[in-house]
Amino acid sequence: MPELPEVETIRRQLSPKLLGRTITAAWAFDSPKFDEASLAVGTTITSLRRRGKYLLVELSSPETAASELVIHLGMTGRLTVTPPTTGDEPGTTAVEAADRHLRARWSFEDGSTLRFHDVRRFGRVAVVRSGHYEQLPTLASLGPEPDDEAFDAEHLRSAVNGGRRHVKTVLLSQRTVAGVGNIYADEALWRSGVDPRARRLTRVAALRLRDAVREVIAQGIASGGTTLRDYRDADGNRGTNQDQLDCYGRQGEPCHRCGTTIVHAVVDARSTSWCPHCQRR
Ligand SMILES: [Zn+2]
pLDDT at 119 over 80: yes
Told to judge if 32 belongs to the known catalytic residues of this protein, a careful annotator would answer no
pLDDT at 91 over 50: no
Residue 94 Cα, ligand 1 centroid: separation in angstroms? 43
Shared domain for 136 and 9, answered yes or no, is yes
Told to judge if 83 belongs to the known catalytic residues of this protein, a careful annotator would answer no
Is 99 among the domain residues? yes
Q: How many residues does the chain have?
A: 281
Is 148 among the domain residues? no
Told to judge if 3 belongs to the known catalytic residues of this protein, a careful annotator would answer yes
Residue 211 Cα, ligand 1 centroid: separation in angstroms? 19
Q: Please compute the mean of the pLDDT values over residues 69-90 and round it to a whole number.
A: 84
Query: Contact 43/59 with Cβ under 8 angstroms?
Result: yes
Structural domains in the chain (count):
2
> Which of these three, 107, 140, 173, is where a domain ends?
140
Is 281 among the domain residues? no
90 pLDDT tier (thresholds 50, 70, 90)? very low
The CATH number of residue 68's host domain is 3.20.190.10
pLDDT, residue 12, reads 98
Average pLDDT taken over every residue of the chain: 94
Q: Please compute the mean of the pLDDT values over residues 182-207 and round it to a whole number.
A: 98
How far is 281 from 196, CA to CA, in rounded Å? 8
Give the range of the structural domain holding residue 165, as residue numbers without chain letter.
153-274
User: What are the tens digits of pLDDT across the range 156-180?
Assistant: 999 999 998 999 999 999 999 999 9
Residue 241 Cα, ligand 1 centroid: separation in angstroms? 20
> Which of these three, 115, 140, 165, is where a domain ends?
140
- Looking at 21, 53, 103, 124, which residue is catalytic? 53
- Strand-pair partners of 271: 266
Shared domain for 130 and 187, answered yes or no, is no
pLDDT at 87 over 60: no
pLDDT at 186 over 70: yes
User: What are the tens digits of pLDDT across the range 22-74?
Assistant: 999 999 999 999 999 999 999 999 999 999 999 999 999 988 889 999 999 99
Alpha helices by DSSP H, the chain? 4-18, 93-98, 137-140, 153-161, 167-172, 182-192, 203-222
Using a pLDDT cut of 70, give the percent of the chain over it. 95
pLDDT, residue 98, reads 57
User: What are the tens digits of pLDDT across the range 198-252?
Assistant: 999 999 999 999 999 999 999 999 999 999 988 999 999 999 999 999 999 999 9
> Which of these three, 109, 140, 171, is where a domain ends?
140
Candidates 178, 125, 124; CA nearest to 150 is 178
Using a pLDDT cut of 90, give the percent of the chain over it. 90
The CATH number of residue 233's host domain is 1.10.8.50
- Looking at 165, 197, 199, 270, which residue is catalytic? 270
Told to judge if 270 belongs to the known catalytic residues of this protein, a careful annotator would answer yes
